[in-house]
A and B are shown apart, each in its own frame.
Chain A
């Protein structure tokens, strides 16, 4: 005699169903949004500088005769009306030589600075950039950058017009 099995409702097997489709839809939408708005950030860097302290008025210091005088290179830069480099001249402070005219060649300027830096390897060296006020920041940074790469640690960009300093 066949036994009829009584099904117990508490033992019903319910297959769990996690609806993945809406989640996948949303994920694709998010992915599309981020891909479309993705713009890799340019790598920012820094050039650390020190501003000279404000003029105190009347204060002065007696130079130390034993202190080594830094070798000083003065670069004069003129600009075109558009703010690009027109000419670069180099001279060593206190030297009798005629300033060297490099035209507008920044690579030549870099090589000259490298030579000067190598000649004064064991001496403190200072680079003063006398810059035409029309020169754009991109070129100012290019001149400072070349100076740092050539080995100068003390670089002062100042306006070429004395009255504006």
Chain B
């Protein structure tokens, strides 16, 4: 007398696993890894006319400015224990030292690096201008103002 087949009935997991691994890969590649030179504290303003980031810009120096107008130094920019530059005099001194270092390294009479200014949208113009003035006095000329690119269409 037959009692039926004893074969095991199992769901086929392979396509499911393929799909899950592909999703994992997608999210891993898109994950927001913390960039060393940018600060998440800074909320950038929006601009329609902003251009895409230029990757062939050469040497760059990031300056993250919070809403109080303080320059937030990243771990590789710190000098001693200070992690912020609080006023125009400190910014000017810091930029002067950076410019001197760069001039010694490149042997040129002017710093060639492009400044990347990431200024918070709530920073008063007085503070931003003081920082730009400090950079100008240190000999820097090229500046990129970082913004969030906006399509111009209201959502």
A residues at B contact (CB < 8 Å):
20-21, 23-24, 27-28, 30-31, 34-35, 37-54, 83, 131-138, 140-142, 144-145, 148-149, 157-159, 164
Q: How far is the CA of A52 from the CA of B142 in the complex (A)?
A: 9
B120 to chain A, nearest CB (A): 6
User: A138 — which chain B residues lie within 8 A by C-beta?
Assistant: 45-46, 121-122
- Determine if B9 is an interface residue (Cβ-Cβ < 8 Å): no
CB pairs A–B below 8 angstroms (22 shown) = A27-B20, A31-B24, A34-B31, A42-B148, A45-B47, A45-B51, A45-B146, A46-B116, A46-B146, A47-B49, A47-B50, A47-B144, A48-B142, A49-B144, A51-B135, A51-B136, A53-B136, A137-B120, A138-B122, A141-B45, A145-B47, A159-B129
Cβ–Cβ contact A27 & B140, under 8 A:
no
Cα-based distance from A43 to B44 in the complex (angstroms):
11
- B1 in the interface, Cβ–Cβ < 8 Å? no
Contact of A23 among B17, B140, B147 (CB under 8 A): B17
* A45-B53, A136-B122 known; A34-B144 Cβ under 8 A: no
Given contacts A54-B137, A145-B47, contact A44 B148 (CB under 8 A): yes
Tell me whether B27 and A34 are in contact (CB under 8 A). yes
Dominant secondary structure at the A interface: mixed
Choose one: A20, A44, A140, A141; the contact of B17 (CB below 8 Å).
Answer: A20
Q: What distance in Å separates the Cβ of B112 from its nearest Cβ neighbour in chain A?
A: 13
* Residue B101 interfacial (CB < 8 Å): no
Of the candidates A45, A53, A54, A132, which one forms a contact with B50 in the assembled complex, judged by CB atoms under 8 Å apart? Answer: A45
Which residue from chain A places its CB closest to the CB of B119 in the assembled complex?
A137
Q: By CB atoms of chain B within 10 A, which of A40, A141, A164 has the most?
A: A141
Contact flag A51-B47 (CB < 8 Å), given A24-B17, A27-B20: no
Kindly state the separation between the CA atoms of A50 and B136 in the bound complex, as whole angstroms: 9
A141, B32: Cβ atoms closer than 8 Å: no
| Contact A35:B27 (CB < 8 A) given known A24-B20, A46-B146, A51-B141 | yes
Interface string of B3-27 (1 = CB under 8 A from A): 0000000000110110011011001
Contact of A50 among B27, B121, B124, B143 (CB under 8 A): B143
